[in-house]
């Protein structure tokens, strides 16, 4: 497989607080990798750094053989890295369709378009004019995933996709992620439930105290 993204001795933090301590990590094109670990271990910080929402303070973040550690988030999105954040972070004043259009602002060419996203999520097509935050929790999570897909990413990074969801809904979310992966999108999934992660991902990396190791 072709190496798609790699970090070398990556560090990051918030002001004077260092959260990541030299993380070495990689994901190959077409792979699905789970990031596991306890609360506060640095998993979300790591994903935010990969997506450019948090600037790395040291080390390298290489994407398609280029060091992009200093790139802002919008440039990483344009290159093909999309983040589905923990807690969904939907725009409450916007409809389902308008939330998806916000994800599609990069206008990257590729298989994931608004039409193909609605084909994957027919319930969202049905509720496309409804305010996104009026949907159920599971449906809102689908909106968050669909918004990330609308950017037509090469890598979809998903942070705690089943947080607060009933087990039956969590299974549906993972079924959808499995279909997205089967269609060729590379996935990085932060998950606190290792067994659940193994239903989708072929490899796990554990983050512990801001450091990473194979799990």
Q: In the structure, what pLDDT confidence band is assigned to residue 192 with cuts at 50, 70 and 90?
A: confident
Question: Exposed (0-12), middle (13-18) or buried (19+): which is 48, by Cβ within 10 Å?
Answer: buried
3-state helix, strand, coil in the chain (%, to 5): 35, 30, 35
Residue pLDDT, tens place only, 173-182:
999 999 999 9
| 3 state SS for 64-103 | CCEECCCCCHHHHHHHCEEEECCCCCCCCCCEHHHHHHHH
Give the list of residues 6+ apart from residue 122 with CB closer than 8 angstroms, or none: none
Residue 215 above 60 pLDDT? Answer: no
Query: Rounded mean pLDDT of 25-32?
Result: 95
Residue 28 above 70 pLDDT? Answer: yes
Query: Rounded mean pLDDT of 131-159?
Result: 92
Residue 1 above 80 pLDDT? Answer: no
- Which of 76-80, 130-134, 147-151, 208-212 has the lowest average pLDDT? 208-212
Query: Rounded mean pLDDT of 89-117?
Result: 86
Residue pLDDT, tens place only, 94-103:
999 998 998 8
Domains of the chain plus CATH, in order, are 3-214 (3.40.50.300)
Residue 167 above 80 pLDDT? Answer: yes
Average pLDDT of the chain is: 90
């Amino acid at each position: 497989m072709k190496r798609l993204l790699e970090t070398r001795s990556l560090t990051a933090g918030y002001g004077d607080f260092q959260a990541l301590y030299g993380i070495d990590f990689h994901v190959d094109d077409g792979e699905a990798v789970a990031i596991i670990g306890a609360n506060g271990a640095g998993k979300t910080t790591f994903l935010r750094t990969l997506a450019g929402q948090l600037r790395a303070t040291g080390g390298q973040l290489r994407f398609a053989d280029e060091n992009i550690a200093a790139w802002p988030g919008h440039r990483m999105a344009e290159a093909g890295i999309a983040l589905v954040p923990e807690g969904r972070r939907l725009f409450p004043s916007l409809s389902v369709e308008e939330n998806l259009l916000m994800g599609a602002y990069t206008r990257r060419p590729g298989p994931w378009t608004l039409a193909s996203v609605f084909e994957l999520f027919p319930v969202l097509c049905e509720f496309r004019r409804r305010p996104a935050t009026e949907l159920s929790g599971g449906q809102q999570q689908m909106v968050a995933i669909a918004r990330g897909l609308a950017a037509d990413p090469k890598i979809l990074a998903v942070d705690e996709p089943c947080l607060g969801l009933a087990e039956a809904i969590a299974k549906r979310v993972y079924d959808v992620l499995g279909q997205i992966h089967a269609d060729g999108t590379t996935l990085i999934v932060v998950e606190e439930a290792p067994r659940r992660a193994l239903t989708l991902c072929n490899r796990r990396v554990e983050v512990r105290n801001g450091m990473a190791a194979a799990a």
